[in-house]
């Protein structure tokens, strides 16, 4: 590995990756952005841009990672074969001599996680742990930013979440925590839970959106069967439908109800609340 080599950043055309890259540039940290479309890469001082066809393109990713000290791996878009792409990238990092992987994972990463997409994060963590490099996992919760859009045109937030609580986190806070890990030291072998400051029910979410935006929003609890029926018109594949519904079931069963001091410890301020996020929008 090249200890002085740049930090390689994937997902830099996306929300979290681009904001992490901006923070690294502001801190004067050399970086290499691995993107699928160079025209959409952020233009940043100290950042070189390398095009890769996909995270699954192992040889191209290996060549793109040569000389990098750290790989910051943003998970790929959800897909049935997502972990295969992550596995290829992790093998590429080992072959390229990268010294450390910082993976953007998800709270409660377990093989049998209720929220089915979290199982991909568990599988990726396992691959990273076995790769023999230094690692850090920054585990996000559900994005606060997406809650408003979860309410339909009719202002109804519907799903089988019951009265369960969860601690959603603002995406920009996730980026701040990742940047703190990437620019700091002492994080090897650590997993951080990056969560919001409030344990909210979906009733709380609806009431807060209504209060802050003035929009009429209510939460309607569903059974799992009702959730399947109300989403049938999207025509989504079975894996995606299960993932959507399991988001709510994971709130109902408490899987996403994690409080943690990790964000404040890493970033030095409290995480952003839903009301603060909505007011700033």
Q: How far apart are alpha carbons 229 and 227 in whole angstroms?
A: 5
Binding mask 55-74 for ligand NAP (x = CB under 6 A): x------------------x
Angle formed by the axes of helices 171-183 and 15-26, to 10°? 40
Binding mask 73-112 for ligand NAP (x = CB under 6 A): -xxxx-------x---------------------------
User: Of the two residues 15 and 228, which places its CB atom closer to ligand NAP in the complex?
Assistant: 15
In the complex, minimum distance from the CB of residue 243 to ligand NAP, in angstroms, rounded to a whole number: 10
In the complex, minimum distance from the CB of residue 76 to ligand NAP, in angstroms, rounded to a whole number: 3
Q: How far apart are alpha carbons 264 and 266 in whole angstroms?
A: 6
Phi, psi of 47 (to 5 degrees): -115, 120
Is 14 one of the binding residues for ligand NAP (CB under 6 A)? Answer: yes
Is 142 one of the binding residues for ligand NAP (CB under 6 A)? Answer: yes
Q: How far apart are alpha carbons 117 and 106 in whole angstroms?
A: 9
Footprint (CB under 6 A) of ligand NAP, residues 18-37: 36-37
Q: How far apart are alpha carbons 106 and 108 in whole angstroms?
A: 6
Q: Which of 7, 140, 157, 217 binds ligand NAP (CB under 6 A)?
A: 140
**Kind of pairing, strands 70-73 and 190-194?**
unpaired
Footprint (CB under 6 A) of ligand NAP, residues 147-186: 171
Cβ atoms 115, 77 nearer than 8 A? no
Cβ atoms 274, 147 nearer than 8 A? yes
Residue holding tokens 């309607």? 220
Cβ atoms 252, 219 nearer than 8 A? no
Is 6 one of the binding residues for ligand NAP (CB under 6 A)? Answer: no
In the complex, minimum distance from the CB of residue 215 to ligand NAP, in angstroms, rounded to a whole number: 21
Footprint (CB under 6 A) of ligand NAP, residues 115-134: none
Residue numbers of the site for ligand NAP (CB under 6 A)?
Answer: 10-17, 36-37, 54-55, 74-77, 85, 140, 142-143, 146, 171
């Amino acid at each position: 590995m090249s200890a002085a080599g740049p930090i390689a950043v994937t997902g830099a055309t996306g929300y979290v990756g681009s904001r992490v890259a901006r923070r690294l540039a502001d801190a004067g940290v050399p970086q290499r952005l691995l993107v699928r479309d160079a025209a959409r890469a952020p233009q940043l001082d100290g950042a070189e841009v390398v095009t890769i066809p996909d995270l699954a393109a192992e040889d191209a990713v290996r060549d793109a990672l040569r000389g990098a000290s750290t790989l910051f791996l943003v998970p790929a878009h959800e897909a049935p074969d997502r972990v295969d792409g992550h596995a290829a990238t992790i093998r590429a990092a080992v072959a390229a001599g990268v010294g450390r992987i910082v993976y953007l994972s998800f709270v409660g990463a377990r093989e049998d996680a209720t929220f089915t997409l979290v199982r991909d994060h568990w599988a990726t963590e396992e691959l990273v742990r076995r790769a023999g490099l230094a690692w850090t996992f920054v585990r996000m919760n559900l994005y606060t930013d997406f809650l408003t859009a979860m309410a339909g045109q009719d202002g109804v937030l519907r799903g089988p979440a019951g009265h369960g609580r969860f601690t959603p986190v603002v995406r920009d806070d996730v980026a701040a925590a990742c940047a703190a890990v990437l620019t700091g030291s002492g994080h090897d072998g650590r997993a951080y839970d990056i969560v919001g400051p409030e344990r909210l029910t979906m009733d709380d979410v609806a009431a807060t959106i209504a209060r802050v935006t003035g929009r009429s929003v209510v939460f309607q609890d569903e059974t799992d069967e009702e959730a399947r029926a109300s989403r049938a018109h999207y025509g989504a594949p079975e894996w995606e439908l299960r993932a959507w519904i399991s988001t709510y079931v994971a709130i109902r069963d408490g899987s996403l109800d994690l409080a943690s001091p990790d964000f404040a410890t890493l970033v030095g301020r409290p995480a952003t609340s839903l009301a603060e996020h909505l007011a700033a929008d």
